Amino acid sequence: MISTKSVKPALEQAYVKLMMDVIGRGLVMASQVDDEIKHEVSKFPVGFTLSMKVFPNGSAFIAKVNAKHNLELVQSLQDKPDLTVTFKHLHHAFLVFSFQESTAQAFANDRMIADGDLSYAIRLVRCLNKMEALILPKLVAEMAVKEYPQGLTLKEKLTGAANIYLKVAQSYLKGSV
């Protein structure tokens, strides 16, 4: 018989791995379709690299700002990323990715660290918050982000979500981003 203590970490790990992939792809696609996220990403220099990962060797994604000022996922880097956001423990990532705790709250609770320019980390969090506000149902998004965007209309939410989900689905069908 399998004990629940051995199953829970395995399930958390599988869920975090899936969500890390979906969030990485979602952020890349949102940088192509949402004007607010495009604006935020345009403030990163071309060639800027960012990573989100789980300590010590857990799930991760790496994105790079291309010449069009969009994000694109990359498999690996020769050098250290310009910005790395690291969850200190798998369970901390699970709390954020299961929308039990916002990214801002996780930072406040010292569950994650940013290695790099703090202004870039704040810009990344704004991108993640806007993406989550667009793609998640409002009730879930209100738990996931520090402040739900006041002016986000239903039409903008549905259009943005549809565009992001469509592009993410296409990236899975193509096998790349």
How much of the chain, in percent, has pLDDT values that exceed 90?
56
- C-alpha to C-alpha distance for 108 and 22, rounded to whole angstroms: 24
What pLDDT score was predicted for residue 7?
55
Per the CB < 8 A criterion, the answer to whether 129 and 146 are in contact is: yes
Q: Where are the domains of the chain?
A: 4-170
What pLDDT score was predicted for residue 62?
96
Picking from 96, 111, 117, the residue whose alpha carbon sits closest to that of residue 49 is 117
Query: Above 70 in pLDDT, residue 4?
Result: no
Topology annotation, domain 4-170: Nonspecific Lipid-transfer Protein; Chain A (3.30.1050)
What's this model's pTM, rounded to 2 decimal places? 0.84
What pLDDT score was predicted for residue 138?
85
Q: Which residues of 120-156 are buried (b: 16+ CB within 10 A; e: fewer)?
A: bbebbbbbbbbbbbbbbeeeebbebbeebeeebeeeb
Lowest mean pLDDT segment, chosen from 29-43, 49-63, 79-93, 145-159: 145-159
Question: Where is 173: in which H helix or E strand?
Answer: helix 154-174
Question: Residue 70 corresponds to which tokens in the numbers above?
Answer: 């969009």
- Band of pLDDT at residue 3, cut at 50, 70 and 90: very low
